Amino acid sequence: MWGSPSDGSATGGSAIFMNLLNEEFRRRGHRVFVISNENGEKQVNRKRMSPKDFHLHILNQNQYPAKLLPKYLKAGAKGKNTRVIMRSDGPFALHRQKVQQDEALLNTVIKYCDILIFQSDWSRRATEKHVSYYKKVPSRVRKVIIGNAADPFTFFPPTRARHVPSNGRIRVGTSVWSTAERKNFDLIEKIVPFLDPIEYELVIVGRVPDNFDKTLFEERNFTLYPPMNQRELGIFLRTRVDAFLAPS
């Protein structure tokens, strides 16, 4: 697995995805090795693994040491039946306004991959529309949509009734890790003016953009909580939030 897993602290969705996928593969009896920007190929070297020993490579966006890709994935280096999968969270061009990141990802797909996974049909269509480089991906690369899902061991319905605040307001909550305004906060900013402060309270867990304008929220019932890890967030949502908003 190529990417940066979480160490258990508060983090973004990609790292959490890496952790859960890692755990699921191990639960099914597979051996898993992680190649990351932080630790390089230390896990692989420790077990003296050869590039031909791997049956599957999963690349998570651009979050890995790209300079190591040829060593493991070029023709002749990997095993004959080895499969290579890319997981895309694009297009980056929309929320980071840097199409170069999309082109780098797709260039890797063109060179090495058998399958390109999108997290949603919207992601696939948006990549087709906004990233012209996508047209260069050969037909041999299979395009697949596998939607995101909540970890059922962390996020599940409350087993007892929530405490109802004395003011009777409905607490609308969301969690945000990315500080990119175009990825999460633009939608939140658009709906805030429509929140009736008598009926609703907005609860945000996580981080906000550097240019976050608090004045927009001053006349609303708004509370910002610091980032939480998955377990903490699951408990918080079950006990302190009545409705969850997923802006991204």
pLDDT by 10-residue block (mean), the chain, 248 residues: 81 81 92 92 91 94 92 89 92 82 94 95 92 94 89 84 82 84 74 86 86 72 88 92 84
Q: Is residue 160 part of a domain?
A: no
Q: Contact at 8 Å (CB) between 90 and 123?
A: yes
Same domain, 135 and 225: no
Q: What is the pLDDT of residue 29?
A: 96
Q: Which domain holds residue 120?
A: 13-145
Q: Is residue 163 part of a domain?
A: no
Same domain, 136 and 202: no
Q: Contact at 8 Å (CB) between 170 and 191?
A: no
Instruction: Tell me which amino acid residue 50 is.
Output: S
Q: Is residue 154 part of a domain?
A: no
Q: pTM for this one?
A: 0.83
Question: Structurally, how many domains does the chain consist of?
Answer: 2
Give me the residue label for tokens 């280096």: 77
Same domain, 177 and 141: no
